[in-house]
A and B are shown apart, each in its own frame.
Chain A
Amino acid sequence: MAFYSQIAHNVLPPLMTTSSTLGRGAFELIKSITASSDSDITFADGSNGVTFDSTFKTYCFKFIDIHGSVNFRHLGFDIQVSGGSGFDEPKISSGYEANHSQTNNGTQFQAATAIDLIDSTNLQAIIYGIGSENDEAGAGELWLFLPSDTAKNMHFISQTVNHTDDDKIRHTFMGGYTNEPGAIDEIRFKMSEGNIDSGTIKMYGIR
C-alpha cells in the first residue's frame, strides 16, 4: 500500500482548493490542533511537525467549532517574523459583516470597524463575538499569501461564521496585510480574553 509521499504524480491531484478561487493545487494538511482550555494555539515552523516556510506559497487555516471561555469574545491571530519575539508585527485591515437575529431583532450589513486595525500590533480578530453558551461556537477559514516572501508584506483574507452571544448568525469577512518585511514563520491564535475552551484549528499548505 503506497503512502501519499511515495506517489509519483501520474494523476491529477484533487481539482479544487476550498476557496471560491478554483485551481489544481494540492491542499495538504500540515497540522491539526484541538483546543482544551488553552490560552492560545500556535503554529511555528519546525515545531511539532509544522512546516511554515517557502515550501508553500499559500497557507489556509480552518476553524471548527471554536468555543471560548468568556462570553462575547473574539478569536484572532498575531504573527511573528523569523527570529522575532512577542508576536508584535503590525497589521492593517478592514472588513464587513452580515448578521441576522434568531429572535427577530433584524438584520445588519455593515463595516466591521470594531475589529479593523490601523498599523496596530493588537490581535487581529476574525471571528467576532462568539457566545459562550454550550451550543454556541464559531467556524471559518483564514488564508495567508506568500508569508515567506521577504520583499512583500503578507496579505491575508478570512471568512468566518459564528453564533453570537446575543443569538445572531454573524458572517464576517476581513482582509489586510502585515506591515513588516521579513519571512513570517509563526502564527498564534487566541481569544480576545480568556481561553479557547474547545475547537479545532487545522493548518493546510497549498503549493
Chain B
Amino acid sequence: MATYKSIRYSPLIGPGQVLLKTITASSSSNLQFTQGITSEYKEYLFVAAGFHPEESNKVPQFQVSTDGGSSYGVTATTAFHVVEHAEDGSADNVYYQASQDIQNGTGFQSFAEGTGNENDSCMDGYLHIYNPAGTTHVKLFHTSMMCQRNSAMAHGKASGYFNTTNAINAVKFQLSSGNIDAGTISMYGLN
C-alpha cells in the first residue's frame, strides 16, 4: 500500500493539482512565496483561507516579482468588479470598481474591499496566474475573493496582466496597511 508521501504521479492521469506550499499568518506584515514558481507548472493557484486583518477595513492585495522577491512592482493593467449584498437586504449590487483597478501602474492589486476585523469576519478566495515562467507573452491572472464587513458580503473579482515578458518567480500578499492577524495561503501547481 503506497502512502501519500511516496506517490509518483502517472504522467498521463493523476491529480492535476499539487500542493506546493502553505504559509500561515501570525501577525505578519506580509506573506511571500519566493520559491517554487517555475516552468514546472503552467498555471499556479493561490488559495487564501481565513485571512483576518488586525485592523478593520484594510484591503488585501498582491504583487509579483521577476527577481525572486527582491522587489515587487511589475507594471500591470487590471479590471475589478464587485458583487455585494447586505444582511438586511440592502446594497444588492454588481458594479465596476474603478478605485481598485490599475492602469499601467506598479501598485499592488486589490483582491476585495476592506475586510472587517471582527472575530467572525475574514476573507477567502483564490488567485490564478497563468504560465508565470513564460517569456513570450504578458502574464494573465484573475482572482475571486469573498469578504465580510459591516454585516455585508462583498465578492471582488480582479483580472489583469502583468505587462512583462520576463518570468515571474515570486508573489507577495499583504494588506493596504497593518498586519495579517491569521489565515493561510496555499500555493498549488496545476499539471
Contact = CB atoms under 8 A, between A and B. Distances in A.
Given A65-B131, A98-B79, A163-B161, A7 B17 contact: no
Contacts, number: 158
The DSSP consensus for interface residues of chain A is strand
Given A16-B47, A169-B77, A98 B138 contact: no
B136 A134 contact: yes
Interface string B1-31: 1111011111011111111000000000000
B120 to A, nearest CB: 19
Given A5-B10, A102-B104, A28 B16 contact: yes
A146 B8 CA distance: 30
Given A14-B18, A102-B77, A4 B138 contact: no
A161 B161 contact: yes
A3 B103 contact: no
B7 A20 contact: no
A8 interface: yes
A109 B142 CA distance: 16
A6 B136 CA distance: 38
B101 A100 contact: yes
B80 A98 contact: yes
A124 B14 CA distance: 29
The 10 closest A-B pairs by CB, nearest first: A2-B2, A171-B159, A109-B96, A139-B130, A100-B79, A137-B137, A102-B77, A98-B79, A29-B16, A139-B140
16 contacts: A4-B14, A17-B17, A27-B17, A27-B190, A64-B42, A65-B42, A65-B136, A135-B163, A135-B165, A137-B137, A137-B140, A139-B140, A161-B140, A161-B160, A163-B161, A169-B160
